[in-house]
């Protein structure tokens, strides 16, 4: 596959990003976009971004850091967006080429129109870089206590997973857990069948296990909920994208205690797969807090973990 390489810059200021509107003589006219463009001869990504922002927004930018790669296929061309981000700049952005400029809150980006290739980028900006998966617990109160502890420690994205619990017992727990998450301004997905959202309507989405994703030929939940999909192979990744996954879990990156003797794909294997995935990817398998930056350096959104994030027994006192 031959891609047209494009460099894109996400300029951040607190919880907002700087966007411009595509003009009438451009494709996708009227859509908002992140500034950027094609590289010139012998130009590095950093140099290209600095030049584009100087030409388009009349500012100097510094210290661009890689965020993600987005391969995308339009009818007439295939592009790969090399996305970087920074908060370091001098001057105040203005439409140096006559285009409208605006600082948009990150939380509102899914309410405005972008070229289709930007879908994964919007999701990456809105998702946290740590995805906690619930581990073992002894009772509903124990589970809620551990969740509260995790949220108080800064977890903003979680998955409630209780494979051995009956639906009758899981649903009341899930409703209370979601309420707890929202009070902490966190999001909580449910691991299980999409129909759980009918019983826990305030949940933020569903996490599908890899062994069920081939049961679906289209996205199984509405677009206003998050769909996470667990994967291990290229075939599963393709299926996850086919059914509209908002983000993907890719494992195992390292050997885990739950699957001893099963070799992980390693960071090189992770990076090789991620470069062809247009949505955020969390590394799973033996992950800990210190692996977050490694995951990002290899193209990932961050890491997902049970033992790395699920609190140990919480005192009832």
User: What number of other Cβ atoms are within 10 A of residue 143's Cβ?
Assistant: 23
233-252, pLDDT tens digit by residue?
999 999 999 999 999 999 99
The pLDDT of residue 257 is 66
The pLDDT of residue 3 is 80
* CA gap 167, 303 in Å, rounded: 28
81-91, pLDDT tens digit by residue?
999 999 999 99
The pLDDT of residue 317 is 45
For 189, the 3-state DSSP assignment is strand
DSSP state of 46: H
* CA gap 212, 233 in Å, rounded: 14
User: What number of other Cβ atoms are within 10 A of residue 239's Cβ?
Assistant: 18
The pLDDT of residue 261 is 67
Of 224, 208, 144, which is closest to residue 178 (Cα–Cα)? 144
Q: Which domains does the chain have, with CATH numbers?
A: 4-117 (3.90.79.10), 130-305 (3.20.20.70)
- Is the pTM for the entire model greater than 0.75? yes
134-162, pLDDT tens digit by residue?
999 999 999 999 999 999 999 999 999 99
Of 82, 95, 17, which is closest to residue 43 (Cα–Cα)? 82
Place of tokens 């980028």: 121
**Residue 21 pLDDT > 60:** yes
């Amino acid at each position: 596959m031959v891609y047209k390489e494009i460099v894109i810059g996400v300029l951040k200021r607190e919880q907002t990003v700087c966007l411009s509107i595509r003009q009438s003589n451009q494709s996708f006219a009227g859509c908002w976009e992140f500034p950027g463009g094609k590289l010139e001869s012998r130009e590095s990504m950093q140099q290209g971004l600095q030049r584009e922002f100087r030409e388009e927004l009349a500012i100097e930018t510094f210290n661009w850091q890689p965020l993600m790669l987005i391969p995308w296929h339009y009818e007439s061309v295939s592009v790969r967006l090399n996305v970087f981000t920074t908060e370091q700049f001098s001057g105040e952005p203005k439409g140096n080429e006559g285009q409208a400029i605006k600082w948009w809150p990150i939380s509102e980006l899914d309410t405005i129109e972008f070229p289709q290739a930007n879908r994964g980028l919007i999701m990456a900006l809105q998702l946290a870089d740590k995805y906690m998966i619930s581990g073992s617990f002894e009772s509903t109160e124990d589970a809620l206590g551990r969740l509260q502890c995790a949220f108080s420690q800064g977890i903003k994205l979680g998955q409630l997973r209780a494979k051995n619990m009956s639906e009758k017992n899981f649903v009341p727990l899930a409703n209370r857990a979601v309420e707890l998450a929202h009070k902490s301004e966190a999001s909580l997905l449910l691991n299980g069948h999409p129909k759980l959202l009918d019983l826990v309507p305030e949940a933020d989405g569903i996490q599908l296990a890899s062994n069920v994703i081939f049961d679906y030929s289209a996205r199984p939940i509405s677009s206003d909920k998050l769909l996470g999909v667990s994967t291990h192979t290229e075939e599963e990744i393709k299926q996850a994208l086919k059914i509209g996954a908002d983000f993907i879990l890719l494992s195992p990156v390292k050997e885990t205690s739950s699957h001893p003797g099963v070799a992980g794909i390693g960071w090189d294997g992770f990076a090789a797969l991620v470069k062809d995935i247009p949505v955020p990817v969390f590394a799973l398998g033996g992950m800990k807090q210190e692996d977050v930056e490694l995951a990002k350096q290899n193209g990932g959104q961050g890491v997902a973990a049970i033992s790395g994030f699920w609190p140990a027994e919480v005192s009832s006192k």
